[in-house]
A and B are shown apart, each in its own frame.
Chain A
Amino acid sequence: MTRVQFWNIESGWLFYLLATVALAVFAVGALHRISTWRKDGKTSTLLGGGGLWTFFRDGLLGKRIFRNDPKAGIVHQSIQWGFLALFLGTILLAIDHYFAAFLQGGPYSVFSFALEIAGLLVAFGVVWALIRRLFLRVPRLENRFSDLLPLVWLLLIVITGFFVEAARLAANPQNERIVSFAGSLLALAFPSPEASRSLHAGLWWLHAVLSLGFIAYLPFGKVFHALAAPASMYLEGQALARVIVGAEFASGEFSLRTGVGMDACARCGRCVEQCPAHLAGEAFNPRDAVRQGGRYARLKNSPLFKLPFIKSRAERELAKIKASAEQSVWNCATCGACVEQCPNYVSPLDYLRELRGTVIEDGRNVPALVTGALEGLYKRHNPWEAPKSKRGKWAKGLEVKDIPKDGQAELLYFVGCTTSFDTRAQEMARSLVAIMNHLGEDIGILGAKEPCCGDVARALGEQGLFQELRSDTLNILELYGVTRLFTTSPHCFHTMRNLYPWKDDGDGKHAPVQHYSQLLCDRIQRGALSFSRPLDRVVTYHDPCYLGRHNNVFEEPRLVLQSIPGVKLVEMKNHHRNSLCCGGGGGRMWQEIEGQRKISEMRIEQAVETGAQLLVIACPYCLIMLEDARKTAGVEDVLEVKDLSELAAEAI
């Protein structure tokens, strides 16, 4: 028993002709899509880091698809594995026909049975997918033509496939086989063997046209994600959030990973579900941003849009899309919730930051507040309206070494712009100095000479300014002999730890940059620091995005908190990797964004829901945002907001 190629089909050559046409269209389409995949020379390398394992775990097993929605995992993997099996089956048949006939007898039965299951799996997955979209109305799923077309098309392919098999079986009743059980069942509905034979040819061509058509259509719809997603997963090892220096590309272009991401997006909407800006009712969501970005990049780069008859229309649409994309580019808080969720490792965060770079370089559409912050950074080395000379004033009256005046220290306390100037956040600095003095450690600050780490400049897309600030900071650190430092802000921590080129002293273990929560945790674990004054309160802890999600520092602050006697810690609905942003990052601290509500108030609501009396944070932005939000939300009497450093200082 074996599969006879082109059984009952005349003009088999026509199939090859159609296949060639289909492949040609596919090739043109693929070229059109990957016109956004611009190799900009610095961020792209074919080898290097982590990608292969991600590709296997997420690309084949679909790990992230199961997260929070296991049914989605079952649906998608049924379709994916079924389809891959059928595809593999076609290849094996070709090998069997042209090279070495091995699909006969026993092996053929196994083969046939496997493909039967595969076909049913695809049908099962597609039908359930359509039910989820059209009847269950799963909120994050859209029902655009481009979402439904591929599903319906696949369903037709699979159905016609089974019908072809049924017709063939009905026309050859002597070949009744159990392995093709679905086909056999369907064959019962077919008429006489002669009639079935004529039906078979028609059905076969229908199935062929649908299948080849699908291949041709593939690059033009979102199904292209099937090819782009593996590339995106592979490039995950080069995630820009973690990629270092040298990854600065000529601004105005998107990095390779972002270009790939535009095609890898399957419009699943998991990013939308978690995006704080979207949840606050702002006119923005990461899915739309990436979709728009892809269209924009293709209009700009694709050879198809340069064809004479379409060129001027494309240019007009490009201008419109550019204007629209640039307007909504400032909502992103760079919190990374979207990056965390995406099963295809797309980063709307990086796309938006890169697009901001384009807007910045052009200069004409930069909101006035952003300009103000950037000019402040350039002139005064801080995004606030504060003069450089006042930077160390918070330390007045405190005993702390001013390194430029008093000489080198073992450990630098890098205070940061916001902590230096904001009156509420200054308490964090005073608390940390008190703790370090209590510990008797040799620390120092840079006082008025302290530079800016550059995080805000980078978040707003001003790469050039970020590079200048970084270079200034490195020079100052070198000038004053700084070898180790800890920061108040997770933003300074993230930027200096991941985006600064530290000279490799061979000891990779001792990161020269720590967040204060890591330092305190270390001292507690070493037995140097302990807390004697109890704090008998129920508290909840807010994971700052740049400490937790971006840098995996979750347990250290909790350990410090729970070392204070009497503290009872409860978790909010969104905690650890799923923490809900305070809304202050990504340059939002310097913007006025319209939404139905404030992101920070949503977080305060979650805190109040836990029944805790005290909300603890470990970041100056979060402190300012949440301190304000508890007042505007009217829960001042119910909930207090304090920083971890303040609690620690009070508990000594």
Chain B
Amino acid sequence: MNIVVCVKNVPEVAEEELEINDEGADVEREELGFAINEWDNYAVEEAVRIKEALGGKVTVVTIGNDDDEDVLRRSLAMGADEAILVDGEDLAGVDASAVSLILSRVLKPLEFDLALCGAQAADDGFGQVGVALAERLNLPYASLVTAARVGAGKITVDRELESGMYETVELGLPALLTIQSGINEPRYVSIMGIRKARNAEIKNLSLDDLDLSEDDVRGTANWFESVEMSLPPEGEGAEILSGSLDEICARAAAIIKEKGGLG
């Protein structure tokens, strides 16, 4: 089973105090730490597990600059075999359609049985790249996959629906899946493991190599442009309770009951 996984390096925003940048259409990313997109991490883990069970090769792809190599090296440390970095230095802010175009050009010449993408990215949250990529490559696809079982020439997956329901779908291979979080328990990647991957070779591709110009990407393919981004307004509605510990607890319990929090 040869598998290709598309991964993205995203900013870590939990507990951070975000600021909007000068242009007004994105957050200030300078001071933020970056890490592999959570859904993509699940996807890499899934790919490596399938490879460990059935043999084959796992290739990871990302679009970015030199700093973004980190996600590729981490994936290699997890068990991926090859890595491709597309130079995206001048491509900040392009939408899912444009990204899927670039990725389709990368994947087209590759021989693979399965392509995996994360269901969405933690920063812009479009949830579209995987599906658009499948369309461009004319691959059968399933999204929000929470379980995957490989058969002979086909793959059977569970898709997450609402209210705990799921749908089981069978697709012929090659196919593309977008992976939902929780599909597996991603392995821990140790520092020594990443150090070992430091010397692995990464294939570098430019837009030129993919027969694309910046205009193709930003112009034709890009349908969506962020006009403005703002922080949610600071609201009221926080009641600070005071009194003795017992009084506070009693009042808190009463409020919770009122709002229907206690069954």
Cβ–Cβ < 8 Å partners of A366 in chain B: 187-188
Question: Known: A368-B185, A464-B195. Contact between A379 and B12, CB under 8 A?
Answer: yes
One digit per residue, 1 when the CB lies within 8 angstroms of any chain B CB and 0 when it does not, for chain A 442-477 equals: 000000000000000000001111011000000000
Question: Known: A366-B187, A379-B33, A379-B35. Contact between A464 and B15, CB under 8 A?
Answer: no
Asked if A361 is an interface residue, CB under 8 A from chain B, the answer is yes
The answer to whether B188 and A468 touch across the interface, beta carbons within 8 angstroms, is no
Q: Kindly state the separation between the CA atoms of A462 and B192 in the bound complex, as whole angstroms.
A: 8
Q: Kindly state the separation between the CA atoms of A366 and B194 in the bound complex, as whole angstroms.
A: 17
- Name the interface residues of B175-191: CB closer than 8 Å to any CB of A: 185, 187-191
Q: Kindly state the separation between the CA atoms of A378 and B190 in the bound complex, as whole angstroms.
A: 10
The answer to whether A251 and B78 touch across the interface, beta carbons within 8 angstroms, is no
Asked if A194 is an interface residue, CB under 8 A from chain B, the answer is no
Contact partner of B191 (CB less than 8 A), chosen from A389, A390, A462, is: A462
Cβ–Cβ < 8 Å partners of B187 in chain A: 362-364, 366
Asked if B215 is an interface residue, CB under 8 A from chain A, the answer is no
Question: Known: A363-B78, A366-B188. Contact between A385 and B193, CB under 8 A?
Answer: no
Question: Known: A363-B78, A379-B35. Contact between A462 and B190, CB under 8 A?
Answer: yes
Q: How many residues of A contact B (CB 8 A)?
A: 24
Cβ–Cβ < 8 Å partners of B14 in chain A: 385
Asked if A44 is an interface residue, CB under 8 A from chain B, the answer is no
A364, A385, A389 interface centre (most CB from chain B within 10 Å): A364
Contact partner of A465 (CB less than 8 A), chosen from B33, B35, B78, B191, is: B191
Cβ–Cβ < 8 Å partners of B188 in chain A: 360, 363, 366, 370-371, 374
Asked if A387 is an interface residue, CB under 8 A from chain B, the answer is yes
Cβ–Cβ < 8 Å partners of A363 in chain B: 78, 187-190, 193
Residue of A whose beta carbon sits closest to that of B35: A379
Say how far A338's CB is from chain B's closest CB, in angstroms.
26
The answer to whether B192 and A463 touch across the interface, beta carbons within 8 angstroms, is yes
Q: Kindly state the separation between the CA atoms of A464 and B196 in the bound complex, as whole angstroms.
A: 11
Q: Kindly state the separation between the CA atoms of A184 and B12 in the bound complex, as whole angstroms.
A: 87
Q: Kindly state the separation between the CA atoms of A379 and B35 in the bound complex, as whole angstroms.
A: 9
Residue of A whose beta carbon sits closest to that of B189: A363
Cβ–Cβ < 8 Å partners of B185 in chain A: 368
One digit per residue, 1 when the CB lies within 8 angstroms of any chain B CB and 0 when it does not, for chain A 240-280 equals: 00000000000100000000000000000000000000000
Say how far A518's CB is from chain B's closest CB, in angstroms.
32
Say how far B127's CB is from chain A's closest CB, in angstroms.
25
Q: Kindly state the separation between the CA atoms of A184 and B223 in the bound complex, as whole angstroms.
A: 109
Residue of B whose beta carbon sits closest to that of A387: B15
Q: Kindly state the separation between the CA atoms of A465 and B189 in the bound complex, as whole angstroms.
A: 11
Q: Kindly state the separation between the CA atoms of A379 and B189 in the bound complex, as whole angstroms.
A: 13
The answer to whether A361 and B190 touch across the interface, beta carbons within 8 angstroms, is yes
Say how far B73's CB is from chain A's closest CB, in angstroms.
14
Residue of B whose beta carbon sits closest to that of A465: B191
- Name the interface residues of A350-395: CB closer than 8 Å to any CB of B: 360-364, 366, 368, 370-371, 374, 378-379, 385-387, 389-390
Cβ–Cβ < 8 Å partners of A465 in chain B: 190-191
Q: Is the interface of A mostly helix, strand, loop or mixed?
A: helix
Asked if B16 is an interface residue, CB under 8 A from chain A, the answer is yes
Say how far B189's CB is from chain A's closest CB, in angstroms.
6
Contact partner of A361 (CB less than 8 A), chosen from B17, B78, B192, is: B192
One digit per residue, 1 when the CB lies within 8 angstroms of any chain A CB and 0 when it does not, for chain B 188-216 equals: 11111111000000000000000000000
Cβ–Cβ < 8 Å partners of B189 in chain A: 363
Residue of B whose beta carbon sits closest to that of A466: B191
- Name the interface residues of B10-59: CB closer than 8 Å to any CB of A: 12, 14-17, 33, 35
Cβ–Cβ < 8 Å partners of A468 in chain B: 191
Say how far B115's CB is from chain A's closest CB, in angstroms.
24
Residue of B whose beta carbon sits closest to that of A364: B187
Q: Kindly state the separation between the CA atoms of A379 and B16 in the bound complex, as whole angstroms.
A: 12
Say how far A641's CB is from chain B's closest CB, in angstroms.
18
Residue of A whose beta carbon sits closest to that of B195: A464
Say how far A365's CB is from chain B's closest CB, in angstroms.
9
The answer to whether B33 and A464 touch across the interface, beta carbons within 8 angstroms, is no
One digit per residue, 1 when the CB lies within 8 angstroms of any chain B CB and 0 when it does not, for chain A 519-547 equals: 00000000000000000000000000000
Cβ–Cβ < 8 Å partners of A387 in chain B: 15-16
The answer to whether B191 and A464 touch across the interface, beta carbons within 8 angstroms, is yes
Cβ–Cβ < 8 Å partners of B35 in chain A: 379
Q: Kindly state the separation between the CA atoms of A360 and B188 in the bound complex, as whole angstroms.
A: 7
Q: Kindly state the separation between the CA atoms of A561 and B78 in the bound complex, as whole angstroms.
A: 51
A363, A378, A385 interface centre (most CB from chain B within 10 Å): A363
Residue of A whose beta carbon sits closest to that of B49: A364
Say how far A103's CB is from chain B's closest CB, in angstroms.
61
Say how far A616's CB is from chain B's closest CB, in angstroms.
25
B14, B15, B35 interface centre (most CB from chain A within 10 Å): B15
Q: Kindly state the separation between the CA atoms of A379 and B32 in the bound complex, as whole angstroms.
A: 11
Say how far A424's CB is from chain B's closest CB, in angstroms.
15
The answer to whether B15 and A360 touch across the interface, beta carbons within 8 angstroms, is no
Q: Kindly state the separation between the CA atoms of A386 and B14 in the bound complex, as whole angstroms.
A: 10
B12, B14, B189, B191 interface centre (most CB from chain A within 10 Å): B191
Say how far A88's CB is from chain B's closest CB, in angstroms.
49
Q: Kindly state the separation between the CA atoms of A445 and B242 in the bound complex, as whole angstroms.
A: 33
Cβ–Cβ < 8 Å partners of B15 in chain A: 385-387, 390
Cβ–Cβ < 8 Å partners of B194 in chain A: 464
Given A360-B188, A387-B16: 12 more A-B contacts, CB < 8 Å: A251-B190, A361-B190, A362-B187, A364-B187, A371-B188, A378-B191, A379-B35, A387-B15, A389-B17, A464-B191, A464-B192, A467-B191
| Chain A interfacial positions (CB closer than 8 Å to B) | 251, 360-364, 366, 368, 370-371, 374, 378-379, 385-387, 389-390, 462-465, 467-468
9 contacts between A and B (CB under 8 A): A363-B187, A370-B188, A379-B35, A385-B15, A464-B190, A464-B194, A465-B190, A465-B191, A467-B191
Q: Which 9 A-B residue pairings sit nearest by Cβ, starting from the closest? A: A464-B191, A363-B187, A464-B192, A366-B188, A363-B188, A387-B15, A465-B191, A364-B187, A371-B188
